């Protein structure tokens, strides 16, 4: 059974998650592994699609709109009520702001570390497959399986489409630094104008 994502919290600790609620963990740089599926409030063994640390808190997203947040000091992940019934594929965020994204342009937002969630109307048609905070632009870059690319300004709540030089299906996006972009140089977003 495949693992779909992994989160490294430091040089010693990591946690892969995957299909049918699979989760394992290591605290010794992968020398030994322990089962971790019992740490997650997932009695239906739903697929776990992504795991991320945002603002010092670890989150897991998966099928049927499920999001799980690690409880401080326990290592256990409690289910959060999102109000979403579709699958989430990934997470992005900064500080207390957490975004969960998935099928048919789905984007859910929490401004309080997952305590409350609300749907964000993106107007995207494709499955959101990647999101990354771009410090230089003060916005999130979101990409979809339908070759859509947008910048989401969380303060204004607005979306701005950007068009790469070549239309392509995107599976992920990553911001690197102020000197680089989340896209190849030929399709760089550039600095805020």
Strand partners, 128: 144
Residues in the chain predicted with pLDDT less than 70, given as ranges, are 177-193
153, HSE (Cβ side, Cα atoms, 13 Å): 10
Work out how many domains the chain is built from and give that number. Answer: 2
Based on the fold, state whether residues 17 and 57 are members of the same structural domain.
yes
Indicate if 24 and 77 belong to the same structural domain.
yes
Same domain, residue pair 136 and 116: no
Q: Which domain holds residue 34?
A: 1-120
Helix, strand and coil content of the chain, in percent to the nearest 5, comes to 10, 40, 50
92, 109 Cβ separation under 8 angstroms:
no
Instruction: Cite the DSSP H helix spans in the chain.
Output: none
pLDDT on residue 190:
38
Domain shared by 64 and 148, yes or no: no
Predicted pLDDT at 165:
74
- Which CATH number is 31's domain given? 2.130.10.10
Asked whether residue 77 falls in the same domain as residue 148, the answer is no
What per-residue confidence (pLDDT) applies to 181? 39
Domain termination site, one of 90, 120, 150: 120
Q: What are phi and psi of 6, to 5 degrees?
A: -145, 145
Residue 113, number of CB atoms within 10 A of its CB: 18
- Please provide residue 148's backbone torsions phi and psi, each rounded to the nearest 5 degrees: -95, 140
pLDDT of residue 141: 93
Instruction: Tell me, yes or no, whether 147 and 182 share the same domain.
Output: yes
pLDDT tens digits for range 110-139: 999 999 999 999 999 999 999 999 988 899
Contact assessment for residue 46 and residue 18, using Cβ atoms and an 8 Å cutoff? no
What pLDDT does residue 177 have?
A: 58
């Amino acid at each position: 059974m495949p693992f779909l994502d992994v989160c490294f919290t430091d040089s010693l600790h990591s946690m892969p998650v995957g299909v049918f609620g699979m989760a394992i963990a290591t605290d010794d740089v992968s020398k030994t592994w322990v089962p971790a599926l019992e740490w997650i409030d997932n009695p239906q063994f739903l697929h776990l699609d992504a795991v991320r640390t945002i603002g010092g808190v670890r989150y897991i997203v998966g099928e049927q709109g499920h999001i799980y947040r690690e409880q401080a000091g326990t290592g256990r992940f409690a289910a959060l009520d999102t109000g979403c019934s579709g699958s989430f594929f990934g997470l992005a965020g900064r500080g207390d702001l957490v975004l969960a994204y998935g099928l048919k342009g789905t984007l859910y937002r929490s401004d309080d570390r997952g305590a409350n969630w609300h749907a964000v109307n993106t107007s995207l048609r494709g499955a959101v497959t990647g999101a990354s905070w771009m410090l230089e632009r003060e916005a999130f870059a979101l990409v979809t399986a339908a070759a859509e690319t947008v910048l989401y300004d969380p303060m204004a709540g607005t979306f701005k489409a950007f068009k790469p030089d070549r239309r392509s299906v995107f599976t992920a996006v990553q911001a690197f630094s102020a000197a680089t972009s989340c896209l190849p140089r030929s399709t760089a977003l550039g600095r805020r104008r």
